[in-house]
Structure 1
Amino acid sequence: MARRRLRFAVVSTTLLLFLFSLLLSASAIDPKSILRPPHSRPLVLPLVLSPRLNSSRIVSDDGDKLRRHLQGSPYLAPNARMGLYDDLLSNGYYTTRLLIGTPPQEFALIVDTGSTVTYVPCSSCEQCGKHQDPKFQPDLSSTYDPVKCNPDCTCDAENVQCTYDRQYAEMSSSSGILGEDIVSFGNLSQLKPQRAVFGCENAETGDLYSQHADGIMGLGRGDLSIVDQLVNKGVINDSFSLCYGGMDVGGGAMVLGQMSPPSGMVFSNSDPERSPYYNIELKEMHVAGKKLPINPSVFDGKHGTVLDSGTTYAYLPEAAFVAFKRAIMKELHGLKQIRGPDPNYNDVCFSGAESRVSELSKAFPAVDMIFGNGQKYSLSPENYLFRHSKAPGAYCLGIFQNGKDPTTLLGGIIVRNTLVTYDRGNSKVGFWKTNCSELWDRLHISDTPSAIPPSSGGVSTDGIPPVSAPNGSPRFVIPGDLQVGFITFDMSSSVETSDIEPRISDLSGSIAQELGVNSSQVRLLNLTSTGNGSLIRWAIYPEPSAQYFPQATAKHIISRLAEHNVRLPETFGNYQLVKWNVQPPMKRSWWQGHYLVVVMAVVVVLMLGLSAYGIWFVRKWRQQTNISYKPVDSDAVVSEQELQPIVN
């Protein structure tokens, strides 16, 4: 079982000689997860933090004033509410969907509180792996600008634009150029699209090359962090929240910006001066109500206790882990210790428990974390266990020893089904146990997304735009009196027209499969060349027997198009949905509406006429052929003669 590890990078004493030369560099070793067994050294430090970019690229004077105003007042600025996808243990990370450019290009990015830069593969990247979505194409975005070379960044060889370079402890790396473009946060977001700086990746190696996700969404502290950029622009308060789904559920939610803390949320102080990572003041751990017999200072070594959303499991200093393991095993009754699912890892596993997650508390004890302010955050068994993949009813500890490193690292498993609020403006972190798949209902927050942004599509002058739905998927409601006759959309492709023409049938079949319609309903309207690619206009029609789409079918198609959620095989190159339109049913003339009836009537008349003529013809023929024949006169008969032999 492969394990995503923490997003911290290696620092070597031999590299310290280069420290001062790197202080003005935009390239830095960033926190990043690595794959390694729990007994190896897990925590390594970055060489330097990302230096400040030219502030004029990110924040204006007006934006800075608004930021200070928001931080000093109880006013809640709009926030970006976004869904989380994938699963912590099977994927090793959670992703969210981010839209970049005009028109928007969509990406699945790992949410990472230990990284300080957001980056996606660039179309110019020849050393990028096969990821979930097509690469970002700057040429297709009308709002893209490269970040020009300046004294506060590392420049490319031509001294034209800024670059970034991230190297990670698991021997993976990411490098590319810095660009600026419109970033959109999805239909659930109250926050309007904003300009932001991000990395356009030109090379990647290691785990970054092989992972399914497209890139990283950096939520850490630093001017390149998406959070810092939005805060510095004054569009959100200095806070964000993550809510990871529970065992066997996956998914979750994320909020960029401040939200009202729910009743019962417990907080720990978080000192930004202590380390560049998000830390908490952990003082004690209790198992089954009993304090672990260790000195509280054990949780305060090196970086203290660090939260990292990009790390899968939790890692304790040696003394804390030994005490925790001993206390857990002391409370287990009727369970048998067994080998772990992977011989490469020295997992501590037990069999004999209930398979249902809701019943785990009957076999495993509760664990409490006590903060410096005396508040308590209680862990359910799913917050420190993972399911054994080969033995039903067996579970393993998801908390390991952190080698000889004194830092306590708390990964995503600790906060499953927990809303974690990183209140950076007030230097604290909040925890609230909840069902993350039902977060908005539990917070009594409407799930109504904002109006569809113009860049996501449009409607024809004859049509009526669908409105956002409060719940459920797809997320669009079509008024009951609106009949969708057909839907058109334009697709920009990197494949030239000469290459795509022979494959139009295959392409329309793939589109039909993605939209859940028959191939006959997808029709090509126009195919034009755009220099190095093609612009293709498609139409989706209802079934031949119908004049308009059923409401459910129309909602499904509109949702897929509006959210740019159409996935085509890579053989069709890089592509983007440029715009979509909803068209009402075409008005039919009397003849168009009744031609089938007329045709059927004509056919019936012809059949009746032919049938009557056939009867008359048969009778007439019989009358003509009913004649008495006279016997042949015997005198007229000529005897047949034998053939004579040939005479030589």
Structure 2
Amino acid sequence: MSSSSGVLGEDIVSFGNQSELPPQRAVFGCENMETGDLYSQHADGIMGLGHGDLSIVDQLVDKGVISDSFSLCYGGMDVGGGAMVLGGIIPPSDMVFARSDPDRSPYYNIDLKEIHVAGKALPLSPKVFDGKHGTVLDSGTTYAYLPESAFAAFKDAIMKSVHSLKQIKGPDPNYNDICFSGSSSDSSQLSKTFPSVDMVFNNGQKLSMSPENYLFRHSKVRGAYCLGVFQNGKDPTTLLGGIVVRNTLVTYDREHEKIGFWKTDCSKIWERLHISTSPAPLPTISNTTNTTTDMAPRLAPREPPRYDIPGVIKIGLITFYMSLSVKYSDLKPHISELAKFISEELAVNVSQVRLMNFTSKGNDSLIRWGIFPPQSDDYIANASAMDIIARLNENRVHLPDSFGSYKLFKWKIEPPPERTWWQQHSVTIVSTSVVLIVLGLLASGLWFLWRRREQSLVTYKPVDSAVPEQELQPI
């Protein structure tokens, strides 16, 4: 048994600089304890791609970032690699589909009807694959687990087909594995000694599997292999893990409630699924040629990313520390020059790079730098912020030797500062005040001109001039 426990967190999720998906704020789990195979395996944790509010797929779909579909391509027995595609793709013409009922369970189900070994159907009722949760496809499970009767029939059919091989003990004495020796150590030659296995779905479509889809390599005996299919205890659920889809592209088309399977070399598929930064016409899919070389992805249509929508963080400041083996007294005259080099290495304007504070200890200096938004913006665009952080994380900041040895660490992002009422309305207030002042000055000028004009129309009379008698009035 394996277990995992931890806490829920919330942060920005980014899929790299080459991804067309904009960074998104998402809820995710952070492990702090693992037991069993989860702890001993090479992989570090599990990424939840199932149904539910906490699934990264559901979060991206709900925000309109991708269509309700994703694909996984699993590496083979001897070859690693693989790919994950978020959003829809153009399915190859020979992709095999099985219906997936989202209401059946919280897992990804397929309607398995029959299993064939060496071309012959196992003597089982289709109902055996429909118990409890039905047939579940679980990428987080390593092997395959069948109900009791189905496992017995499968094991007997395999052993009848490999009677020429010697049955040996498994690599771990704690498990009663079914293993065989005498086969080729080259996994590509396994079909010469082990039978093919087919899964038939209710729609009549059939997924043909090679031996690597039900065998795992014996770790102690060269040329020996063990069954990677086990009995699922007394549980009537059929559980198909990652071994079943080795070197298989699996498309989880949740929008149309179906799952597609396409046998291919997953170590090379990323080159065919890679999205360039400059969109090019998509190749067509040919029905007569090998679709391995013709398949191309089609992402769900979307608008250019916006960074002012709810759920997308606004980054107002990026800070990081730089330690240098230079005395600050010697470094101080060259701070502007250093800021220029940093701006060039981070691909930002030099006005965005500012010294926040510094400390000096002996012959070393510690500087805290801040990367601010461009002067005309209130925050840094998420794509630019992710690029800056990637350059810091990957040590892509290179300074001249004159600055000695240096180290960048402890970067941090901060939201834009909350603006006060005055800051939010200062431009309007100042603009209104200027307009009122101009209008006031204009009014004063007009009044002054009017008074001058009125005075010019009045006849001037000296104080000592005689006043005509007819103008005198009695008091």
The equivalent of 2:230 in structure 1 is 400
Task: Look up the SS of the partner of 1:327 in the other structure.
Answer: helix
1:353 maps onto 2:183 in alignment:
yes
Q: Which runs of 5+ in 2 are unaligned?
A: 280-317, 329-355, 370-386, 397-406, 414-475
Higher RCO (Cα < 8 Å, 6 or more apart): 2
Choose which of 144, 148, 173 in structure 2 pairs with 1:314: 144
Q: Tell me, in whole angstroms, the C-alpha distance in 1 between the residues paired with 2:248 and 2:234.
A: 29
Task: Look up the SS of the partner of 1:196 in the other structure.
Answer: strand
- Residue 235 (structure 1) shift: 1.3
Moved over 3 A (4+): 203-216, 444-447, 490-493, 495-498, 526-530, 533-537, 560-567, 573-579
- Residue 565 (structure 1) shift: 4.7
The equivalent of 1:43 in structure 2 is none
Q: Tell me, in whole angstroms, the C-alpha distance in 2 between the residues paired with 1:433 and 1:394.
A: 24
The AA in structure 1 aligned to 2:262 is W
- Residue 408 (structure 1) shift: 0.4
1:321/1:401 contact within 8 Å kept: yes
Choose which of 413, 417, 433 in structure 1 pairs with 2:263: 433
Task: Look up the SS of the partner of 2:235 in the other structure.
Answer: coil
Q: Tell me, in whole angstroms, the C-alpha distance in 2 between the residues paired with 1:563 and 1:376.
A: 49
Which has the greater radius of gyration? 2
Q: Tell me, in whole angstroms, the C-alpha distance in 1 between the residues paired with 2:146 and 2:359.
A: 59
Cα deviation, 1:577-605, whole Å, max 9, x if unaligned, reads 689xxxxxxxxxxxxxxxxxxxxxxxxxx
Q: Tell me, in whole angstroms, the C-alpha distance in 1 between the residues paired with 2:121 and 2:277.
A: 45
Choose which of 276, 296, 299 in structure 2 pairs with 1:448: 276
Q: Tell me, in whole angstroms, the C-alpha distance in 2 between the residues paired with 1:534 and 1:321.
A: 65
- Residue 251 (structure 1) shift: 2.4
Identity of aligned residues (%): 67
Report the CA distance shift for 1:212/1:342 in structure 2 as closer, same or farther (over 3 A).
closer
Q: Tell me, in whole angstroms, the C-alpha distance in 2 between the residues paired with 1:306 and 1:529.
A: 59
Q: Tell me, in whole angstroms, the C-alpha distance in 2 between the residues paired with 1:534 and 1:293.
A: 74
The equivalent of 1:366 in structure 2 is 196
The AA in structure 1 aligned to 2:7 is S
Q: How does 1:82-93 map to 2 (within 5 A)?
A: none
Choose which of 258, 272, 275 in structure 1 pairs with 2:105: 275
Task: Look up the SS of the partner of 1:224 in the other structure.
Answer: coil
Q: How does 1:202-281 map to 2 (within 5 A)?
A: 203-204=32-33, 206=35, 215-281=45-111
* Count of residues paired in the alignment: 314
1:253/1:436 contact within 8 Å kept: yes
Q: Tell me, in whole angstroms, the C-alpha distance in 1 between the residues paired with 2:122 and 2:324.
A: 69
Q: Tell me, in whole angstroms, the C-alpha distance in 2 between the residues paired with 1:212 and 1:566.
A: 26
The AA in structure 2 aligned to 1:174 is G
The equivalent of 2:6 in structure 1 is 174
- TM-score w.r.t. length of structure 2: 0.59
- Residue 173 (structure 1) shift: 1.9
CA RMSD of aligned residues (A): 3.6
Q: How does 1:402-417 map to 2 (within 5 A)?
A: 402-417=232-247
The equivalent of 1:302 in structure 2 is 132
Task: Look up the SS of the partner of 1:359 in the other structure.
Answer: helix
Task: Look up the SS of the partner of 2:255 in the other structure.
Answer: helix
The AA in structure 1 aligned to 2:150 is A
Report the CA distance shift for 1:277/1:388 in structure 2 as closer, same or farther (over 3 A).
same
Report the CA distance shift for 1:325/1:189 in structure 2 as closer, same or farther (over 3 A).
same
1:317/1:405 contact within 8 Å kept: yes
The AA in structure 2 aligned to 1:204 is M
The equivalent of 1:285 in structure 2 is 115
Q: Tell me, in whole angstroms, the C-alpha distance in 2 between the residues paired with 1:574 and 1:206.
A: 35
Q: How does 1:87-106 map to 2 (within 5 A)?
A: none
Q: How does 1:65-80 map to 2 (within 5 A)?
A: none
- Residue 358 (structure 1) shift: 1.0
Greater Cα offset, 279-288 or 181-190: 181-190
The equivalent of 1:464 in structure 2 is none
1:344 maps onto 2:174 in alignment:
yes
The equivalent of 1:49 in structure 2 is none
Cα deviation, 1:371-400, whole Å, max 9, x if unaligned, reads 010100011100000011111100000001
The AA in structure 2 aligned to 1:406 is P
- Residue 188 (structure 1) shift: 4.0
The equivalent of 1:66 in structure 2 is none
The equivalent of 2:399 in structure 1 is none
1:368/1:376 contact within 8 Å kept: yes
Q: Tell me, in whole angstroms, the C-alpha distance in 1 between the residues paired with 2:236 and 2:89.
A: 34
Report the CA distance shift for 1:321/1:563 in structure 2 as closer, same or farther (over 3 A).
farther
Cα deviation, 1:94-146, whole Å, max 9, x if unaligned, reads xxxxxxxxxxxxxxxxxxxxxxxxxxxxxxxxxxxxxxxxxxxxxxxxxxxxx
- Residue 419 (structure 1) shift: 0.3
Q: Tell me, in whole angstroms, the C-alpha distance in 1 between the residues paired with 2:204 and 2:212.
A: 24
Cα deviation, 1:43-98, whole Å, max 9, x if unaligned, reads xxxxxxxxxxxxxxxxxxxxxxxxxxxxxxxxxxxxxxxxxxxxxxxxxxxxxxxx
Cα deviation, 1:210-256, whole Å, max 9, x if unaligned, reads 77655442111111111001101111100011111001222210011
Report the CA distance shift for 1:222/1:496 in structure 2 as closer, same or farther (over 3 A).
farther
Cα deviation, 1:276-324, whole Å, max 9, x if unaligned, reads 1001000100001000011111100000000111110000001011100
- Residue 200 (structure 1) shift: 5.4
Q: Which runs of 5+ in 1 are unaligned?
A: 1-33, 36-169, 452-489, 502-525, 538-557, 568-572, 580-648
- Residue 195 (structure 1) shift: 2.3
Task: Look up the SS of the partner of 1:229 in the other structure.
Answer: helix
- TM-score w.r.t. length of structure 1: 0.44
The AA in structure 1 aligned to 2:264 is T
Q: Tell me, in whole angstroms, the C-alpha distance in 2 between the residues paired with 1:264 and 1:183.
A: 34
- Residue 333 (structure 1) shift: 4.3
Report the CA distance shift for 1:233/1:354 in structure 2 as closer, same or farther (over 3 A).
same
Q: Tell me, in whole angstroms, the C-alpha distance in 2 between the residues paired with 1:327 and 1:197.
A: 46
